[in-house]
């Protein structure tokens, strides 16, 4: 085991991380989009397959989840400019934001209210489709509404799906698996929020609670699944199916921007700011956007100051072999989905040449921004979902001319909040009241 001091000696920039101060790390290894995509081992065809799968299941979603019928059963969220937030953010940070500020509202994704509806749903759909296809149950002359039929339900009732999660991944896997009729178990750490356990149990999901922390719950879930051939374990740290489900967001965003006549090209670059936990969500989305826009899109991840796992993994190139605990951080944050100490090695390696940087955000900043977004735009998101909102300030202050241009588009990805009970959301909002954002200091960069 390498000691704390040795890390510091080998990677002097780690002092910015151990400081627990807000900071932007600029990735020195970024390559062109085409080189990065070619090195990834994943292709446009892989993403198209995931996209086609969502399309095949659209009639099913439209039927069983009425809130998706408006979009023909596609799980998608609004994307819109947020000019009131832009004005307030700029004035309180005493910084000009000359370009356009946009918000992608995955907090409003139907059925499970977070970005996990992209990756999590896709993995469940693939499992369901593969099992039914192998049994010869799928009638190609009929729509996938047939997945409601008894033979499908009987098949799925004999199969298990398991996942380890404290939060939104458990909700998305649990809700959709239960709807198909799978025998589904969510392994949760003791600190998981009570309302999440209650909600899952009300849908017929088995919730197993552990005294230990999150990684123990995941470990236990994985071990149980390995001993049971009828069980599919959703592996948040290594799943290609999760990643590809997230990546479908690329073509969806491109369609939304085109529809709103917001061109993206070398003269109108798109900067995207994505909250990062283990990395699959933001990595998949960034990958999908790179496929659409190549070098015209620049992607940044946002992490809590106590849990900058992807930053640490990428900077040291140690990926999943280093944890934030190795450099003395406690991995404690109010940003639920982002309290991850060790990043996905798979995602870190795919993103290493494609990501422009990672920045960190204090919890208090998240609450302050949550309140600002609610006050200016009447949009309620959970604390994690606000991590990206500091992005434009970082890229503009870092002196990137493209980011400072009036033709820049800054897209903040709001990742969750749609399932948070009203009283919990009110408490978040109240927490933001005492936060003085930007008290006369400026964000640092290097």
Ligand X SMILES: *Cc1c(COP(=O)(O)O)cnc(C)c1O
Asked if 116 is part of the footprint of ligand X (rule: CB under 6 A), the reply reads yes
Burial class (CB in 10 A: 0-12, 13-18, 19+), 442: exposed
Binders of ligand X among 8-37, rule CB under 6 A? none
The three-class DSSP label of residue 333 is coil
CA 184 – CA 64 distance, rounded (Å): 18
For residue 423, give every residue at least 6 positions away whose Cβ sits within 8 Å of its Cβ, in sequence order, or none: none
Kindly tell me which of 68 and 172 has the beta carbon lying closer to ligand X. Answer: 172
Neighbours of 335 (CB within 10 A): 26
Asked if 168 is part of the footprint of ligand X (rule: CB under 6 A), the reply reads yes
Sign of the torsion angle spanned by Cα atoms 279, 285, 289, 291: positive
Cα(first)–Cα(last) distance of the chain, in Å? 29
What's the half-sphere exposure (Cβ side, CA atoms, 13 Å) at 308? 31
Asked if 282 is part of the footprint of ligand X (rule: CB under 6 A), the reply reads yes
Q: Minimal distance in Å, beta carbon 263 to ligand X?
A: 28
Binders of ligand X among 34-63, rule CB under 6 A? none
SS percent in the chain: helix, strand, coil, step 5: 50, 15, 35
Kindly tell me which of 17 and 387 has the beta carbon lying closer to ligand X. Answer: 387
Asked if 331 is part of the footprint of ligand X (rule: CB under 6 A), the reply reads no
Q: Minimal distance in Å, beta carbon 94 to ligand X?
A: 28
Q: Minimal distance in Å, beta carbon 370 to ligand X?
A: 12
Q: Minimal distance in Å, beta carbon 306 to ligand X?
A: 15
Kindly tell me which of 125 and 381 has the beta carbon lying closer to ligand X. Answer: 381
Asked if 105 is part of the footprint of ligand X (rule: CB under 6 A), the reply reads no
Contacting residue, 281, 308, 341, 357, with ligand X by CB under 6 A: 281
Contacting residue, 170, 174, 280, 288, with ligand X by CB under 6 A: 280
CA 190 – CA 217 distance, rounded (Å): 9
Long-range CB contacts (< 8 A, 24+ apart) of 228-231?
A: 228/160, 230/158, 230/159, 230/160, 231/159, 231/160, 231/161, 231/162
Asked if 279 is part of the footprint of ligand X (rule: CB under 6 A), the reply reads yes
Kindly tell me which of 82 and 274 has the beta carbon lying closer to ligand X. Answer: 274
Asked if 392 is part of the footprint of ligand X (rule: CB under 6 A), the reply reads no
**How far are the Cα atoms of 26, 36, 129, 315 from residue 266, in angstroms, in the given order?**
20, 18, 40, 28
Residue pair 351/283 in contact by the 8 Å Cβ criterion: yes
Q: Minimal distance in Å, beta carbon 302 to ligand X?
A: 9
Q: Minimal distance in Å, beta carbon 103 to ligand X?
A: 14
Residue 426 tokens, joined: 């009110």
Kindly tell me which of 234 and 264 has the beta carbon lying closer to ligand X. Answer: 234
Kindly tell me which of 185 and 414 has the beta carbon lying closer to ligand X. Answer: 414
Sign of the torsion angle spanned by Cα atoms 394, 400, 405, 409: negative
Contacting residue, 337, 341, 392, 432, with ligand X by CB under 6 A: 337
Q: Minimal distance in Å, beta carbon 278 to ligand X?
A: 4
Kindly tell me which of 365 and 384 has the beta carbon lying closer to ligand X. Answer: 384
Binders of ligand X among 357-386, rule CB under 6 A? 382, 384-385
Q: Which stretch binds ligand X (CB under 6 A): 186-194, 273-281, 286-294, 435-443?
A: 273-281
Q: Which stretch binds ligand X (CB under 6 A): 71-79, 150-158, 216-224, 279-287?
A: 279-287
Q: Minimal distance in Å, beta carbon 308 to ligand X?
A: 12
Question: Where are any strands of DSSP class E within 403-446?
Answer: 409-414, 444-445
Kindly tell me which of 173 and 403 has the beta carbon lying closer to ligand X. Answer: 173
Asked if 115 is part of the footprint of ligand X (rule: CB under 6 A), the reply reads yes
Tell which phi-psi region holds residue 437, choosing left (phi > 0), alpha (psi between -120 and 50) or beta.
beta
β-pair partners for 81: 102
Asked if 416 is part of the footprint of ligand X (rule: CB under 6 A), the reply reads yes
Kindly tell me which of 114 and 185 has the beta carbon lying closer to ligand X. Answer: 114
Q: Which stretch binds ligand X (CB under 6 A): 53-61, 187-195, 275-283, 418-426?
A: 275-283
CA 307 – CA 351 distance, rounded (Å): 18
Residue pair 114/172 in contact by the 8 Å Cβ criterion: yes
Asked if 275 is part of the footprint of ligand X (rule: CB under 6 A), the reply reads yes
The three-class DSSP label of residue 25 is strand
Residue pair 290/7 in contact by the 8 Å Cβ criterion: no
Number of residues engaging ligand X in binding (CB under 6 A): 20
Residue pair 392/144 in contact by the 8 Å Cβ criterion: no
β-pair partners for 299: 272
Gyration radius of the chain over CA positions = 21
Kindly tell me which of 396 and 420 has the beta carbon lying closer to ligand X. Answer: 420
Kindly tell me which of 337 and 432 has the beta carbon lying closer to ligand X. Answer: 337
Give contact residues for ligand X (rule: CB under 6 A). Answer: 114-116, 167-168, 275-282, 337-338, 382, 384-385, 415-416
């Amino acid at each position: 085991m390498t000691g704390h001091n040795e890390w510091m000696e080998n990677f002097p920039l780690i002092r910015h991380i151990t400081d627990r101060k807000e900071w932007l790390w600029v990735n020195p290894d970024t390559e062109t989009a085409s080189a990065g995509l070619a090195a990834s081992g994943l292709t446009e065809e892989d993403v198209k397959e995931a996209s086609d799968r969502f399309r095949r299941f659209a009639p099913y979603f439209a039927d069983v989840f009425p809130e998706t019928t408006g979009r023909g059963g596609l799980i998608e969220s609004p994307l819109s400019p947020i000019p009131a937030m832009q004005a307030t953010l700029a004035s309180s940070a005493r910084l000009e934001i000359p370009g356009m500020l946009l918000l992608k509202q995955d907090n409003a994704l139907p059925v499970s209210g977070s970005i996990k509806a992209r990756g999590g749903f896709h993995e469940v759909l693939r499992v369901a489709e593969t099992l039914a296809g192998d049994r010869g149950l799928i009638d190609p002359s009929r729509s996938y509404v047939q997945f409601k039929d008894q033979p499908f339900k009987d098949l799925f009732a004999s199969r298990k799906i398991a996942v380890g999660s404290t939060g939104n991944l458990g909700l998305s896997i649990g809700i959709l698996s239960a709807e198909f009729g799978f025998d589904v178990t969510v392994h949760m750490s003791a600190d998981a929020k009570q309302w999440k356990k209650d909600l899952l149990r009300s849908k017929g999901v088995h919730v197993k609670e552990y005294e230990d922390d999150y990684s123990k719950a995941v470990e236990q879930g994985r071990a149980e699944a390995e001993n049971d051939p009828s069980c599919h374990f959703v592996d948040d740290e290594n799943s290609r199916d999760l990643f590809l489900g997230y990546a479908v967001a690329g073509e969806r965003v491109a369609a939304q921007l085109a529809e709103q006549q917001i061109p993206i090209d070398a003269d109108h670059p798109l900067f995207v700011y994505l909250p990062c936990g283990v990395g699959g969500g933001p990595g998949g989305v960034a990958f999908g956007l790179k496929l659409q826009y190549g070098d015209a899109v620049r992607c940044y991840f946002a992490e809590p100051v106590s849990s900058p796992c992807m930053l640490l993994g990428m900077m040291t190139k140690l990926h999943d072999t280093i944890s934030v605990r190795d450099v003395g951080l406690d991995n404690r944050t109010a940003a639920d989905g982002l309290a991850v100490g060790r990043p996905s090695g798979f995602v870190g390696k795919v993103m290493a040449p494609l990501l422009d940087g990672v920045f960190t955000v204090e919890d208090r900043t998240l609450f302050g921004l949550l309140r600002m977004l609610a006050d200016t735009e009447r949009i309620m998101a959970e604390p994690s979902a606000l991590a990206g909102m500091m992005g434009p300030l970082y890229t503009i202050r870092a002196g990137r001319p493209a980011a400072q241009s009036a033709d820049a588009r800054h897209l903040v990805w709001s990742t969750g909040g749609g399932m948070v009970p009203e009283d919990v959301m009110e408490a978040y909002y109240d927490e933001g009241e005492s936060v003085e954002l930007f008290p006369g200091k400026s964000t640092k960069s290097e």
